[in-house]
Amino acid sequence: MFANFTATNPVKANGVVKHMARINKMIGLAVKLEWTDKNPFARYAIKAQKVSRDCLSLSELINIENKVFN
């Protein structure tokens, strides 16, 4: 299944959640357009993990400010 594929490749857990949500939307559209009879994701719960991010330090902000983008 796609979840197993993305879990074994270098994709973080929330990346897998994002891909699974997109596939869920496509399957929902297929059901709505009557291309398929059943939605295999009907009982699949998509749960994102809470990610804690720190603020940038002063030196990191200065490095970004001085960065030259082409």
pLDDT digits (tens, 9 = 90+) for 12-69: 777 878 888 888 899 999 999 999 988 888 888 878 778 888 999 999 999 999 999 8
pLDDT at site 14: 79
pLDDT at site 3: 65
Confidence label for 1 from pLDDT (cuts 50, 70 and 90): low
Residues 46 and 21: beta-carbon distance below 8 Å: yes
pLDDT at site 2: 64
pLDDT at site 7: 64
From residue 11, alpha-carbon distances to 7, 21, 31, 35 in Å are: 7, 15, 28, 30
